[in-house]
Structure 1
Amino acid sequence: MPDQVNARRRRLLQTTVAGISLMELGLSGLVHAQSKEGTGGTKPATPRAGFAAIRQVKAGTLDIGYAEAGPSNGPVVILLHGWPYDIYSFAEVTPLLAAAGYRVIVPYLRGYGSTRFLSADTPRNGQQAVVAVDIIALMDALKIDQAVLGAFDWGARTANIMAALWPERCKAMVSVSGYLIGSQQGNKAPLPPQAELAWWYQFYFATERGRAGYEANRHDFNKLIWRLASPKWNFDDATYDRSAESFNNPDHVAVVIHNYRWRLGLVEGEAQYDALEQRLAMAPTISVPTITMEGDANGAPHPDPAMYAKKFTGKYLHRTIGGGIGHNLPQEAPKAFADAVVDAARLA
């Protein structure tokens, strides 16, 4: 009996290793699926490598942690990260823009880094509209009337929503992977099998096993996502670990799980955002000057640029960045991203 048990264990281990290897080798080549993804003062906090300091400001329902660089009277650029990344995706972009005279604001999204909910009673909501509301609240708290937005992943969806619903607050936009506004209704439509496979983590998160697994293994889980999403990016452990600290936020798991479950219609959002979601469900066009970007080796699910070009009705350019650039484009190609931000501002 012990020999039979050991044999079964060896087969299970071999199957698991083989499955992970297939994902690492194959996901980057899958068919691309279109993603459906108050006021107060500031105070300095602990200095961090890559940024002079992390500041905090009370904004809406959050106490938002953010980095700032550049002249205080410069035109404002707000840079928005995605999952599972953080502000350090812009560690090299920020000084380039600051040197060009921009005031650069790089906030931690809800559930990341030093951003915290002001009340224990506030739902740990991750629906798409609420993240955009957070950034509008941040702009209000910092008395910023208008900004250029530069973003990817969740951040790009947030920037898209801001540009669509509050165009007066958005001077111009750089959006990696283009147009990412979605809806629960739209997400009901099944995708081709390979595209569904690319969203494997979304279905994992739909289960309680997935929630528990992410809670227990978020460091290694997100490192795997980095590798799959950017298969040609040879980041080192120190680079990953610097960002992974932000996943220790006490609300991180709840916000991430709610985000992906909300997309599939498995959980409700907050009623106060229903009107915004109804407008977003209509897939509104975006009129602000925009440059969309894509890496030539993006292993994460993303739409083909031809699918979304007509959603941008103002001045518009698209750039595909070569050289093995993956999903985390600002960190993998910081100069190209910074150049796009400057060029988008000029379009305005």
Structure 2
Amino acid sequence: MPNSLNTIRAGVLDVAYEAHGPADGQAVVLLHGFPYDVRCYDEVAPLLALRGIRVIVPYLRGYGATRFVEVSTPRSGEQAVLGMDLLALLDALGIGRAVLAGYDWGGRAACVVAALWPERVAGLVSGTGYNIQDIAASVRPEPPEAEARYWYQYYLHGERGREGLTQNRGAFARLLWRMWSPDWAFDEATFARTAASFDNPDFVEVVVHSYRHRFGLVAGDPAAADVERRLAARPSIGVPAINLHGAGDGVGPPAAVDGAAKRFTAAYERRLLDGVGHNIPQEAPRAFAEAVLALAAT
């Protein structure tokens, strides 16, 4: 269990986060994805704290107790704002340099900061590797099997999808958990502990914007335009990195050839995890913690 649940003003958000371990330890930030929350790190964080690591586990914008400071702030879910949120959190907590670890949306936030502000990153653990989106290329179709895996994204492009997520957010997320992690036998109590985070009043708007923006269907937050422009260049990541990829990932199955490797210019390793799906830290907490510790020790 966390040592504490805290809230801190960080940029445009009041970020709710859980803290584990000694305040003077090597800093590690663990970042969840969609549709998950901080509960995915319940077994990872204590393993790190026992090794003297200072662990910060924030709720992303639109999840749990994290809230926007101003009503006027766009409820954007684009990649640039996720990275900006993370950078603002590091600043607010006085963390000059940290190991960043995440998957899905959280992995994307970590990749953005590692690519654009590498001086703030001691190491990167990223589920599926290079998670920075190529929005310009989103108009190019993929093979039908890949397109079928992204049905939920296309569903959210229309107002029927927005209303469906609003009315059925729990059932929507539960279905994705099952599809994306076919070998993970989670129980209803485990799901319910996370599903409570989807009651955040900004959840639907942030999620819908995320899945529309990445296809160029809606404008981004003007405050993030410069960061989004820099990301469009597909910057390389020059910090030590470990790519964790579940061999049973139902939405992003690993390719035979690691296409992400070319995006990393420092020490890089890909670790395939048998019997693991998309929710890597909750399905394989020890493997996730070992990857973090490997980078924290360098």
**TM-score, with structure 2 as normaliser:** 0.98
Does structure 1 residue 68 correspond to structure 2 residue 8? no
Bigger mean CA offset, 178-187 vs 250-259: 178-187
Shift in Å, 1:53? 3.1
Aligned mates of 1:54, 1:210 — CA distance in 2: 33
Other structure's SS at 2:135 match: coil
Q: Which runs of 4+ in 1 moved over 2 A?
A: 50-53, 301-305
Give the 5 Å matches for 1:320-335: 320-322=272-274, 324-335=275-286
Aligned mates of 1:276, 1:182 — CA distance in 2: 13
Aligned mates of 1:270, 1:64 — CA distance in 2: 19
Aligned mates of 1:299, 1:317 — CA distance in 2: 22
Structure 1: where are the runs of 5+ without partners? 1-49
- In the alignment, residue 179 of structure 1 is paired with which amino acid? Y
1:307 to 259, 263, 274: 259
Give the 5 Å matches for 1:72-221: 72-221=23-172
Other structure's SS at 1:291 match: strand
Would the aligned equivalents of 1:206 and 1:260 in 2 still touch at CA under 8 Å?
yes
Partner of 1:246: 197
2:236 to 238, 261, 285: 285
Deviations 1:155-182 (A, max 9, x none): 1111111000000111101111001111
Partner of 2:187: 236
Shift in Å, 1:279? 1.4
Shift in Å, 1:344? 1.8
Aligned mates of 2:36, 2:270 — CA distance in 1: 23
Structure 2: where are the runs of 5+ without partners? none
Aligned mates of 1:273, 1:303 — CA distance in 2: 31
Distance 1:302 1:280, change over 3 A: farther
Aligned mates of 2:18, 2:137 — CA distance in 1: 35
Does structure 1 residue 298 correspond to structure 2 residue 249? yes
Other structure's SS at 1:185 match: helix
Aligned mates of 1:240, 1:54 — CA distance in 2: 20
Aligned-residue sequence identity (percent) comes to 50
Other structure's SS at 2:245 match: strand
Shift in Å, 1:271? 2.1
Would the aligned equivalents of 2:247 and 2:254 in 1 still touch at CA under 8 Å?
no
Shift in Å, 1:272? 2.4
Would the aligned equivalents of 1:199 and 1:301 in 2 still touch at CA under 8 Å?
no
Shift in Å, 1:296? 1.5
- What CA RMSD, in Å, does the superposition of the two structures yield over aligned residues? 1.0
Would the aligned equivalents of 1:163 and 1:169 in 2 still touch at CA under 8 Å?
yes
Bigger mean CA offset, 169-178 vs 269-278: 269-278
Deviations 1:318-345 (A, max 9, x none): 11112x1110010101001000001122
Shift in Å, 1:303? 5.5
Would the aligned equivalents of 2:246 and 2:253 in 1 still touch at CA under 8 Å?
no
**TM-score, with structure 1 as normaliser:** 0.84
Aligned mates of 1:52, 1:171 — CA distance in 2: 24
Would the aligned equivalents of 2:123 and 2:296 in 1 still touch at CA under 8 Å?
yes
Distance 1:133 1:302, change over 3 A: farther
Shift in Å, 1:317? 1.1
Q: Which has the larger radius of gyration?
A: 1
